[in-house]
Amino acid sequence: MKTTLELEKVENDTLSGRVHKVLRLSILSGDLEAGQPLCIEELAEELGVSTTPVREALVRLAGDGLVDLQRNRQPLVALISTEEISQVYAIRRLLEPYFGQRLAARAYKDAAVVEGLCQLQADITKYVETLDAANEDSDVYSEYVELERRLQEALLPSGETDLIGKTAALVNNYVYRLRIFSQETRNRERRARMRGVCVEHLQILNALLDGDVPGIERTILDHLTHSEERSLAARQDGSGRSRR
């Protein structure tokens, strides 16, 4: 099992939380692949901890939808089926227009929120220009991932501890994992996809900064329709694995 896991020494009462964080990031980044068996003893040895915090972390990850735990079977990194992809987008269509309107209301009252959205808008615009001018062999994917993450976190802030934050975190787990499918597509196809996503993100940001409530809902729903089509196409091309 190839992983790049690191864990600093911490107090026992926070150890399982730290293990959970490291494993979660490894799954979301694709270092631990969908369908990959997880050996508790190997993970414990690699992380330099006992098996107890690893077991506790895996239970939490199962609750996050990231690990498949079945009685008397080895834990697996959860797979994502086409049915689950459709369910994720159905949930996002219900949530994200509301979160977008909520973000626009915050922007109306808070100059710092407006400044952050304007900066993201400028960064995405500059990235599209770079993408158009860049050599076909150059790697521009990591910057794209960060820009996408910033908009997703603005819309669905998963750092909040209330029910809304927990729901956003669960949805974002799937959103970030679906990105792995497009990462594995050919460079030229991936660039066209990234450019299309950036244009859609700019349309959302324009509506947010204008305080255009109908426009916020329209641009978000249009983006989600195209995003679902892209995810399913990448999924059907064989990028990622299926359990159905």
Query: Do 200 and 222 contact (CB within 8 A), yes or no?
Result: yes
Q: What pLDDT score was predicted for residue 189?
A: 75
Query: Could you give the CA distance from residue 213 to residue 168 in angstroms, rounded to a whole number?
Result: 21
- Whether the model clears a pTM of 0.85, i.e. scores above it, the answer is no
Per the structure, how many domains does the chain have? 2
Domain end residue (candidates: 54, 77, 100): 77
Q: Which domain holds residue 214?
A: 82-236
Average pLDDT over residues 126-154: 84
CATH at 149: 1.20.120.530
Structural domain contains residue 228: yes
- Quick one: what percent of the chain has pLDDT higher than 90? 50
Structural domain contains residue 2: no
Helix-helix angle 40-47:12-29, to 10 degrees: 110
Integer CA distances (angstroms), 163 to 64, 95, 101, 151, in order: 14, 13, 18, 20
Query: Could you give the CA distance from residue 153 to residue 230 in angstroms, rounded to a whole number?
Result: 21
Q: What pLDDT score was predicted for residue 179?
A: 74
Average pLDDT over residues 154-176: 83
CA angle, 201 as apex, 93 and 242 as ends, to 5°?
55
Average model confidence (pLDDT) across the chain: 85
Tallying the residues shown for the chain, one arrives at 244
CATH at 29: 1.10.10.10
Same domain? 39 vs 91: no
Domain end residue (candidates: 20, 45, 77): 77
